[in-house]
Amino acid sequence: MARLALLSVSDKTGLVELAKTLVEEFGFDLISSGGTAKAIASANLPVTKVSDYTGSPEILGGRVKTLHPKIHGGILARQDLAEDQQDLADNGIRPLDLVVVNLYPFEQTIATAGVTLAEAIENIDIGGPAMLRAAAKNHAHLAVLCSPEQYGPYLEALRSHGGETPLELRQAWARAAFWHTASYDQAIATYLTQSVSEPGTGEAEALPEQWALTGRQQATLRYGENPHQTAAWYRTGSIPTGWAGAEQLQGKELSYNNLVDLEAARRIIAEFPADRPAAAVLKHTNPCGVATGDTLAIAYRRAYDADDVSAFGGIVVLNRPIDADTAQQLAGTFLECIVAPGCDRAAQDILAKKPNLRVLVLADLLTGPGQVVNAIAGGFLLQTPDTYRDDPATWQIVTEAQPTEAELAEMLFAWRVVKHVKSNAIVVTHHQQTLGIGAGQMNRVGSVTLALAQAAAKAQGAVLASDGFFPFDDSVRTAAAAGIRAVVQPGGSRRDDDSIKAANELGLIMAMTGVRHFLH
């Protein structure tokens, strides 16, 4: 008797070629359902509809078609067990040698603008996961394929092994099937958690009682943070989004550290709307220069000039598409990566003269992960990302000196930057350009000293932002001595009054935001 294959796929890529080879080269009989059967029949290939094979019509608008003993019996039967073979014979069931299934496009559905909960639920596959799990469980006796990428290797295995497939390949395909259903179920559970839950109000957003992370390997990386560490890049979901969906126009392959830096760059540029050009240069996830400008080229030059020593070998992120003028500026120094929402043809031609420079286009630089994960021994920590949008109208101006509209805008610029500097973080800015950044020090005074030393004489009339409160007035006095005009900080210390008193004594403006932005 001819071998039997069940084909039921949402993604029809490679379907006809697979079916044709199975029938004409290896003598398979085919059973299929719905659109898969139509596609095979339209190619003039013999196929039996599932409803004809089982003797049961599709019901409930197609919700029930493969959930039948003649299907699942053929999948789950053990070919080396006499009792199973007798059950097949008694019930007129043929054993299946191959199950090819991929699932309803749930993730594509929920990614569609305006999709309703009812539409999403209707695109939850039931029969497909059941067949995949059954076939994967019984991989000792049949093969299961869940991706068009597996069709070629499967056919080549048949040719190389006399029409059979090695057990190790069937095990690999079974693992892939279980991962496929696991990620599918996770996407559904995540969507239902987010869509049914009430949106967060107030300071804290509730996190689900259960949370899982699955990913599909996007690329193996040369190494991790250091050469002795192995690393790989995984994307979540079946649809490439975020960095997995970015277009790399040129340059060497991305490294682990590149990707970590690029995500830090994306987070900081998301603070600056595209209505005014903005640029940031980062090194080891910390910004070393951030600025706005009347043109993108000016914004980049100002960000670069903020710390041209640290900018060497850095990551550049821009909030507008790269034009020729900006490309000329970018080509003037050694950079690791550039990312922007676009890059025009003239700019591409200029940057192409530096073939090792990685240039990426990510149209959506605003959308990041919905959760931040940190692995610890025996588990992980989960938090929502710090996407809080600060509004100066909610700040308290706690000093006698009051800011002008321009000074308040400068304070907001500094506050947006300090949010993305490792704690303890201090940022000094003027005219929407960073002048000094103190990052990652064990005490705040050390960060203040570093930032002011870098700003030097340019600190006259500048703004200083701190990601944490000042427990003593020493930092305020140090800032005033350097020429700082205004200070913005979260407040909340028991000794806030000491800092306010010092600011008033020295004629400084001080704003307390009431929100803290630590970045460890």
pLDDT > 70: what percent of the chain? 98
CATH code for the domain in which residue 450 is found: 3.40.140.20
Spatial distance between the Cα atoms of 95 and 87, rounded to a whole number of angstroms: 11
Structure tokens at 403: 């800011």
The mean pLDDT of 280-301, rounded to a whole number, is: 97
More confidently predicted of 227 and 71: 227
Domain boundary among 341, 361, 381: 361
Structure tokens at 507: 């004629």
Give 467: exposed, middle or buried? Use CB within 10 Å, 0-12, 13-18, 19+.
buried
Q: Which amino acids are annotated catalytic?
A: 137, 284
Please state at what angle helix 474-481 crosses helix 444-455, rounded to 10 degrees: 0
In terms of domains, do 401 and 296 share one? no
In terms of domains, do 344 and 402 share one? no
More confidently predicted of 238 and 328: 328
User: The whole model's pTM is what?
Assistant: 0.81
Domain boundary among 166, 193, 220: 193
Quick count: other Cβ atoms within 10 Å of Cβ 175? 12
In a domain, 203, yes or no: no
In terms of domains, do 140 and 287 share one? no
Q: What is the pLDDT confidence band of residue 199, given thresholds at 50, 70 and 90?
A: very low
Q: What is the pLDDT of residue 200?
A: 41
Domain that holds residue 419: 392-512
Q: What is the pLDDT of residue 195?
A: 63
In terms of domains, do 116 and 8 share one? yes
360-376 pLDDT, tens digit per residue, is 999 999 999 888 999 99
In terms of domains, do 250 and 323 share one? yes
Spatial distance between the Cα atoms of 462 and 130, rounded to a whole number of angstroms: 64
The mean pLDDT of 237-247, rounded to a whole number, is: 87
Q: What is the pLDDT confidence band of residue 11, given thresholds at 50, 70 and 90?
A: confident
In 205-264, where do the E strands start and end? 216-221, 231-235, 247-250
Q: Please name which of 226, 242, 255, 471 lies closest in space to residue 370, comparing C-alpha atoms.
A: 242
The mean pLDDT of 192-205, rounded to a whole number, is: 54
Structure tokens at 241: 């989004």
CA atoms within 13 A on the CB side of 193: 15
Q: What is the pLDDT of residue 196?
A: 54
Answer for the pair 56, 68: CB distance below 8 angstroms, yes or no. yes
Q: What is the pLDDT of residue 378?
A: 92
Q: What is the pLDDT of residue 172?
A: 94
Spatial distance between the Cα atoms of 60 and 58, rounded to a whole number of angstroms: 7
pLDDT > 90: what percent of the chain? 70
In terms of domains, do 182 and 42 share one? yes
Q: What is the pLDDT of residue 198?
A: 44
More confidently predicted of 82 and 246: 246
